[in-house]
Amino acid sequence: MHAPLARPQRIARVEPLTLTRAFRGPFDYRLRPEQSDVGVGSLLRVPFNNRKTLGVVLALASESALAPERLAEPDAVLPPGVPADLVALAGWIATEYCSTPARALTLVLPPGTIGRVLSPKRVLMAELTDAGARALRGEGPLNDRQRAALEALERDGPTVAAALGTPMLRRLEGRGLVAIGLSDQRRRPASVAIGRRLDGPPALTGEQQAALDEVVAALQARAAPHAGTAPHADPAPHADPAPHADPAPHAGTAGSRFLLHGVTGSGKTEVYLRAVQETLAAGRGAIVLVPEIALTPQTVGRFQARFGDVVAVLHSGLGQGERHDEWLRLRSGEARVCVGPRSAVFAPLADIGLIVVDEEHDASYKHEGDPRYDARAVAVRRAEQHGAVLLAGSATPRPESAVALTRLRLASRIDGRPLPPVEVLDMRGAHHSLHPRTRMALADVRAAGGKAIVLLNRRGWSNFLCCRGCGHVWMCPNCEVALVLHRAADQLACHHCGHRRRAPSRCDECGSVAVARHGAGTESVEQEFREAFGDELPVFRLDADAASGKGRLARTLAAFEAAPAGVLVGTQMVAKGHDFDGVSLGVVLDADQTLRFPDFRAEERTFALITQLAGRVGRSEDSGPPARVLVQTLAPDAESLAFAARHDSDGFLAAELNRRQVLRYPPHGSLVRIVCSGPEASGSAVASGAAEALAVATRLHGLIAPSGATVLGPAPLFRLRGRSRSQLVIKSADRPATVLAVGTAVGEIATGAVRRGVSVSVDVDPQ
């Protein structure tokens, strides 16, 4: 053993967080002696390209290709940094989704890193003094408001002053009855409770127990070899030598990824809860992914009710401060369960034993920005990193999951009630937007004072406006799509780019006042129902328009839940996992809206939509009309409708897998979509933007085709947000090779594309 003569130099390999593809790190920086606590995942402020930028340490080294004097030093270390396993995960994401390390790293940073630095929030808190307590017992005059405030303080303990009225409390403080001071308040998100409450954990049904037993066995099998090796303490095993490779199913992986395939109302959540309980008992942590939180507050509420403070919630509806604090609670180990939407897959837990993906079919798990990651695939990868069990669940699982995961079945509803009958109604040749049977069913609900849910996957008043005089159709100036009338706002809106204009009273082209509205939207159906039902049956609307504004969505759901009778009209939001009592009728007004979607997932989506809606219906004993679901369509013979009507998800999966095999769609092949878009600066530049986009797409085709994948296109797409677009679709049996070829090709053309003003977006596994 030789003691080193000089202190060895420490080099940090840093990825600067810049968004351009041109500057790809990592770059070496020389650490100063006092920066000894810098490690993989540390966040540094570094000089870069003549400015200061944030960077993440990817690795440490003792030498650099650059001479020591040419190395710059970081200006500052910004705690808390990123756990090492998340740095490795970001590297995998960058490669897997053909993005850049910097972009992928932004996904795993502590909330609030980019932007202002957060300090704990300090607020005025009020507390009852002894004199105040005596005043409550009758020593001294108090008016009603003062008495109420003191009583609240006695009952609840120290309280945020503003909640009771700071000026009044200040006057009481002057009399010595309360004490007021600044203190740190932890920003804990408020929990929302909608739906039924359970007091304690119910006894499991036989099916639930059988499913749980398998999961627990896997948890135990995985726990043993990992005991004591928390990934944070040990970054090395995650340095990934072959990041393009599919996570190789190493020893012990088989049988640790499950698909809980259970009909709606079969008690899947209870299985998740018990599995989390077992994970906590084994001393490990858990992540529970749910679709959009605003639509599924009940699930979050159930986890909070069962596990209390050990649950942290991470989602975009929280303030930045709240998110930051929840992140720190997870990082410190104070919280060991994270519940949240797709981004919660990046929760900074030290030792993850279980990752749950609730409603795994939900499209919200796919991120639409760069990197276009799929949280379900990231969950598989992260489970792999931590030696965790993956438990995905759905009543309508994706064909991919049915093939890849070990299936656990819950075949019957908890209450033993049958699923409601589903009837497909032929709308060909119909003159009214409601089928006679739909009208009768709604009349029955009204007569019985019951509840119905009506789904129409189109917001607004009407589909499009057309002049009766000259045939002019009002189109978006930025996108090649028709504008949709929103009558309440008296506007025409583009559902792609958000462009809005006043609704016209006459034709822009010929001046005619005869403007026809075609098609129905949620807004016009709501109005139609209001007129038809009057005060007897209140109408609630749930869609992205009605929901804008924090909390509106939850309030609408709560109002429908609380109302004794009513109709909930809305887009696919109404079919999410709500657990409402007493809904006896479900209606899909235009099943073709999803069925006609030009996408290989159209069947899957349609089947899921109807099955999920049926899951909201007939969930409780009720004296109302018998539960049923009506599906209006112009394609009554569509296979996906027939399977949904028979509640035959196994039949649907088998047929769908067959169809995809023939077409070489996932899971029988991988898809990558590349969209090149060129700007259209002015009217005359339209052609050139389109030509530039086409040129880049053609060049990419040439670079990717030799990899052996089938490259379809370039095909023109409709103009969007003022940009002409050209698309390539790549089908391949060898996913890693294709992802590599696409990544390389995109890297090669990046600089040239930027010069032409063309942007390139890559979507691996498009939804």
Q: Find out whether 458 and 520 touch, Cβ atoms under 8 Å.
A: yes
Binding to ligand ADP by CB under 6 A, coded x per residue (else -) over 216-255, reads ----------------------------------------
Q: How far is the CB of 264 from ligand ADP (least distance, A)?
A: 5
- Contact partner, 202, from ligand ADP, Zn ion, none, Cβ < 5-8 Å per class: ligand ADP
What is the x/- site pattern for ligand ADP, positions 508-537, by CB under 6 A? ------------------------------
Residue 113 or 264: which CB sits closer to ligand ADP? 264
Residue labelled with tokens 């303030």: 319
CB 613 within 8 A of CB 396: no
Q: Which does 171 bind (CB under 5 to 8 A by kind): ligand ADP, Zn ion, none?
A: none
List the single partner that 479 binds among Zn ion, ligand ADP, none, CB under 5 to 8 Å by kind: Zn ion
Of 301, 469, 736, 757, the one binding Zn ion (CB under 5 A) is 469
Question: Judged by CB under 5 A, does residue 466 bind Zn ion?
Answer: no
Shortest Å distance, C-beta 356 to ligand ADP: 12
Among residues 479, 610, 741, 758, which is the contact residue for Zn ion, using CB under 5 A? 479
Helix (H) or strand (E) holding 173: helix 166-174
Locus of tokens 């309360």:
178
Quick one: which segment of 113-121, 451-459, 473-481, 580-588 binds Zn ion (CB under 5 A)?
A: 473-481
Amino acid at 352: I
Q: Is the dihedral of CA 711, 714, 720, 723 positive or negative?
A: positive
Is residue 499 at the binding interface for Zn ion, with CB under 5 A as the rule? yes
Using the rule CB under 6 A, give the single segment among 62-70, 231-239, 261-269, 744-752 that binds ligand ADP. 261-269
> Are the CB atoms for 63 and 11 separated by under 8 Å?
yes
d(CA 692, CA 698): 10
Query: What's the order of all strands across the beta sheet hosting 670-679?
Result: 710-720, 723-732, 670-679, 759-764
How near is the Cβ of 617 to ligand ADP at its closest, in Å?
12
Q: Tell which one of 74, 231, 267, 669 touches ligand ADP (CB under 6 A).
A: 267
Angle between helices 166-174 and 144-156 (to 10 degrees): 90
Q: Does the footprint of ligand ADP cover residue 145 (CB under 6 A)?
A: no
Q: Mark 406-420 as b/e (b = at least 16 C-beta within 10 Å).
A: eebebebbbeeeebb
We find the least distance from the C-beta atom of residue 284 to ligand ADP, in angstroms, to be 23
| Residues from 159 through 218 that contact ligand ADP (CB under 6 A) | 196, 198, 202-205, 208
Give the residue with the Cβ less far from ligand ADP, 120 or 301.
Answer: 301
Minimum CB distance to ligand ADP, residue 531 (Å): 34
Q: What share of the chain is helix, strand, coil (3-state, %, to 5)?
A: 35, 25, 40
Q: Which is nearer to Zn ion, 114 or 470 (CB)?
A: 470
350 to 379, contacts with ligand ADP by CB under 6 A?
A: none
Q: Should residue 495 be labelled a site residue for Zn ion when binding is judged by CB under 5 A?
A: no
The entry of ligand ADP, Zn ion, none near residue 266 (CB within 5 to 8 angstroms by kind) is: ligand ADP
Q: Is 462 helix (H, G, I), strand (E, B) or coil?
A: strand
Instruction: Mark the segment that binds Zn ion (CB under 5 A) among 152-160, 193-201, 379-387, 459-467.
Output: 459-467
- The smaller minimum CB distance to ligand ADP, of residues 267 and 689, is found at 267
Interface with ligand ADP in residues 557-586 (CB under 6 A): 579
* Nearest by Cα to 129 from 174, 176, 81, 64: 176
**Strands annotated E in 519-575:** 539-542, 566-570
The reply to whether 265 sits near ligand ADP by the rule CB under 6 A is yes
Give the integer Cα–Cα distance in Å for 598 and 601: 9
CB atoms within 10 A of CB 200: 6
Question: CB 507 → Zn ion: shortest distance, Å?
Answer: 3
Report the partner that residue 262 touches, choosing among ligand ADP, Zn ion, none (CB closer than 5 to 8 A by kind).
ligand ADP
- The length of the chain in residues reads 767
Phi-psi region of 127 (alpha: psi -120 to 50; beta: other; left: phi over 0): beta
Residue whose CB is less far from ligand ADP, 274 or 725? 274
Q: Of residues 192, 335, 494, 629, which one binds Zn ion by CB under 5 A?
A: 494
> Strand, helix or coil at 184?
strand
Q: Which entry of Zn ion, ligand ADP, none binds 687, CB below 5 to 8 A by partner kind?
A: none
Query: Which DSSP state fits 192?
Result: -
* 496 lies in the binding site for Zn ion (CB under 5 A): yes
Q: Which stretch binds Zn ion (CB under 5 A): 2-10, 211-219, 352-360, 508-516?
A: 508-516
DSSP readout, 295-329? G-HHHHHHHHHHHGGGEEE--TTS-HHHHHHHHHH
Q: Tokens for 6? A: 């000089």
Our measurement of the distance from residue 666's CA atom to the centroid of its chain's CA atoms, rounded to an integer in Å, reads: 21
- Of 142, 148, 146, nearest to 169 by C-alpha is 146
Contacting ligand ADP (CB under 6 A), which of 269, 394, 632, 649?
A: 269
List the structure tokens of 370. 């760069």
Binding segment toward ligand ADP, per CB under 6 A, in 143-151, 266-274, 328-336, 489-497: 266-274
Dihedral sign from CA coordinates of 607, 595, 359, 351: positive
Q: Quick one: 61 or 470, whose CB is closer to Zn ion? A: 470
Size of the site for Zn ion (CB under 5 A): 15
Near ligand ADP in 483-502, by CB under 6 A:
none
478 binds Zn ion (CB under 5 A): yes
Among Zn ion, ligand ADP, none, residue 9 binds (CB under 5-8 Å by kind):
none
Paired tokens of 148:
């109420």
Single out the residue of 37, 509, 581, 621 in contact with Zn ion (rule: CB under 5 A). 509
Element (H, E) at 749: helix 735-756
What's the min distance (Å) between Cβ of 475 and Zn ion?
9
Query: Which of residues 430 and 514 has its CB atom nearest to Zn ion in the complex?
Result: 514
CA distance readout (Å), 651 to 228, 296, 419, 577, 647: 45, 28, 16, 23, 9
Among 102, 467, 539, 697, binds Zn ion (CB under 5 A): 467
Residues 405-434 that bind ligand ADP (CB under 6 A): 414
Contact range with Zn ion by CB under 5 A, out of 34-42, 87-95, 217-225, 466-474: 466-474
Contact of 519 with 464, CB cutoff 8 Å: yes
Closest CA to 265 of 584, 579, 557, 562: 579
The alpha carbons of the chain give a radius of gyration, in whole angstroms, of: 29
For residue 512, the partner it binds in Zn ion, ligand ADP, none, with Cβ less than 5 to 8 A by kind, is: Zn ion
From CA 427, how far away is CA 491, in angstroms rounded? 30
Q: Please enumerate in sequence order all residues whose Cβ is within 8 A of that of 485, keeping only pairs 6 or more positions apart, or say none.
A: 460, 461, 462, 464, 465, 491, 492, 503, 517, 521
Question: Who contacts 551 (Cβ-Cβ below 8 Å, separation ≥6)?
Answer: none
Least distance between ligand ADP and beta carbon 413 (Å)? 8
Pick the closer one to ligand ADP by CB: 167 or 416. 416
Task: Number of residues interacting with ligand ADP: please give it, by CB under 6 A.
Answer: 17
Q: Residue 243, Cα to own-chain centre: how many angstroms?
A: 25
Kindly list the residues in this chain that would bind Zn ion in the complex (CB under 5 A): 467, 469-470, 472, 476, 478-479, 494, 496-497, 499, 507, 509-510, 512
Kindly list the residues in this chain that would bind ligand ADP in the complex (CB under 6 A): 196, 198, 202-205, 208, 262, 264-270, 414, 579
